Amino acid sequence: MTVIVTGGAGFIGSNFIFYTLKNHPGYRVICLDKLTYAGNLSTLKDVMDKPNFKFVKADICDREAVYALFESEKPDVVVNFAAESHVDRSIESPDVFLRTNIIGASVLMDACRKFDTERFHQVSTDEVYGDLPIDRPDLFFTEETLLHTSSPYSSSKASADLLALAYHRTYGLPVTISRCSNNYGPYHFPEKLIPLMIANALNDKPLPVYGRGENIRDWLYVEDHCKAIDLILQKGRVGEVYNIGGHNEMRNIDIVKIILKELGKPESLITFVADRKGHDLRYAIDPAKIHGELGWLPETKFADGIKKTIKWYLENRSWWEEIISGEYTDYYDKMYSNR
Ligand code: NAD
Ligand code: DAU
């Protein structure tokens, strides 16, 4: 079994590679990644020398490079994690989101058609459903919820989902789609809420909470997401969408307070800043389908997962300190100074 994992030098893709190599030692895993600002080769250092692993630097929008890779490797399965993934960046510059997240996905699907790949799995997001009201805790996103996006990021992801379903119906391409809630865990790029707050707290810098911190996200430990995708690849039905989430809704402000408490830092570091434009209020996944059909359930409770995550950031300071000392400082200044 040969699996191409695109975007495998990023947060979830790298965790998926570790999960797959550990649980399916007989598989060959090829990571295709452009190494944008969010991709990091050092993340893959422990698997780089494995005989059944290979890294290829390429852009998923580069049709020639993608076809050449498919020609030589003849993948059985392609799992597409490659994307521009940060909502705030999409609000600043949508173009690259449309290119990578839509055109890139279509190039990969064309390659799957051309080389008769047995499965194309599109890693999508709960953000394609838009948001839910904060005062209606009885409402959840199901696979039937209408697509209703808020940001250029979520619109680009929804576009790729529609293309994947169209490739299935029109060309019979064997696609599956998963829409997951917010992930956290090791190797999460420090522009995102949890690692940003951990890094700032450790450096005694202000913790910039958007608005009043009342927005709600549904957090899932990254390994549980990887396990769900693996199950979909093994037992999922082609042409189907599977929501992934573990009923773990939390307000941003409460997450930030948990991080401060765990690190023994004062709440006076919390700074309320201008809200994100178009900020989604609440995400909440109904995972009944993946539970009922595939038997998936999350294994890591948030109380344990956040402790493990903080411990990882404490023990791997060089990984994130190198990131936040580079071009990231320009990004941080642009997004947060005078906010
Ligand atoms: P990330 O930003 O950490 O990593 C993205 C990876 O894709 C990087 O390694 C980057 O170099 C690579 N990449 C970007 N553009 C590329 C291109 N044109 N060609 C090849 N490689 C390219 O993202 P992440 O948080 O790991 O998210 C992975 C996927 O999961 C994305 O598709 C995202 O939409 C989806 N997702 C993320 C979350 C979350 O909470 N992070 C939740 C649900 C779904
Ligand atoms: O729901 C899945 C999505 O989760 C994925 O599709 C995205 O790729 C991923 O980035 C994530 O999107 P969010 O926008 O929810 O994640 P982010 O970490 O950027 O923000 C989480 C919440 O925290 C959100 O309500 C905005 C808020 N926030 C974020 C940052 C970076 C702050 O209050 N301050 C911050 O500095």
Domain of 71: which CATH number?
A: 3.40.50.720
- Determine, yes or no, domain membership for 148: yes
Cβ atoms of residues 13 and 81 within 8 Å: yes
Ligand nearest to the CA of 62: 1
Question: How far, in Å, from the CA of 180 to the mean position of ligand 1?
Answer: 13
Residues 288-328: pLDDT tens digits?
A: 999 999 999 999 999 999 999 999 999 999 999 999 998 99
The radius of gyration computed from the CA coordinates of the chain, to the nearest angstrom, equals: 19
- Does residue 127 have its Cβ closer than 6 Å to ligand 2? yes
Coil, helix or strand at residue 116: coil
Measured from the Cα of 197, ligand 2's closest atom is: 36
Q: What is the pLDDT of residue 68?
A: 98
Tell how strand 220-221 and strand 175-180 pair up: unpaired
Q: What are residue 179's phi and psi, to 5 degrees?
A: -120, 105
Question: Structure pTM?
Answer: 0.98
Q: Which of 193, 215, 258 gets mutated to test ligand 2 (max ligand atoms within 8 A of its CB)?
A: 193
- Determine, yes or no, domain membership for 307: no
Q: How far apart are CA 238 and CA 117, in angstroms?
A: 13
Mean pLDDT by 10 residues, the chain (339 residues): 98 99 98 98 98 98 98 98 98 98 98 98 98 97 98 98 98 98 98 98 98 98 98 98 97 98 98 98 98 98 98 98 93 94
Q: Which of 4, 5, 12 gets mutated to test ligand 1 (max ligand atoms within 8 A of its CB)?
A: 12
Q: Which 3-state string (H, E, C) describes 279-330?
A: CCCECCECCHHHHHHHCCCCCCCHHHHHHHHHHHHHHCHHHHHHHHHCCHHH
Look up the domain containing 34 and give its range: 2-189+221-248+278-301
Question: How far, in Å, from the CA of 267 to the mean position of ligand 1?
Answer: 31
Ligand nearest to the CA of 259: 2
- Does residue 210 have its Cβ closer than 6 Å to ligand 2? yes
- Determine, yes or no, domain membership for 238: yes
Question: How far, in Å, from the CA of 193 to the mean position of ligand 2?
Answer: 6
Domain count, the chain: 1
156: left (phi over 0), alpha (psi -120 to 50) or beta: alpha
Tell how strand 249-251 and strand 216-218 pair up: antiparallel
- Determine, yes or no, domain membership for 225: yes
Question: How far, in Å, from the CA of 254 to the mean position of ligand 2?
Answer: 14
Q: What is the pLDDT of residue 130?
A: 98
- Does residue 249 have its Cβ closer than 6 Å to ligand 1? no
Measured from the Cα of 276, ligand 2's closest atom is: 26
Amino acid at 117: T
Question: How far, in Å, from the CA of 331 to the mean position of ligand 2?
Answer: 16
Residues 249-298: pLDDT tens digits?
A: 999 999 999 999 999 999 999 999 999 999 999 999 999 999 999 999 99
- Determine, yes or no, domain membership for 108: yes
Q: What is the pLDDT of residue 326?
A: 83
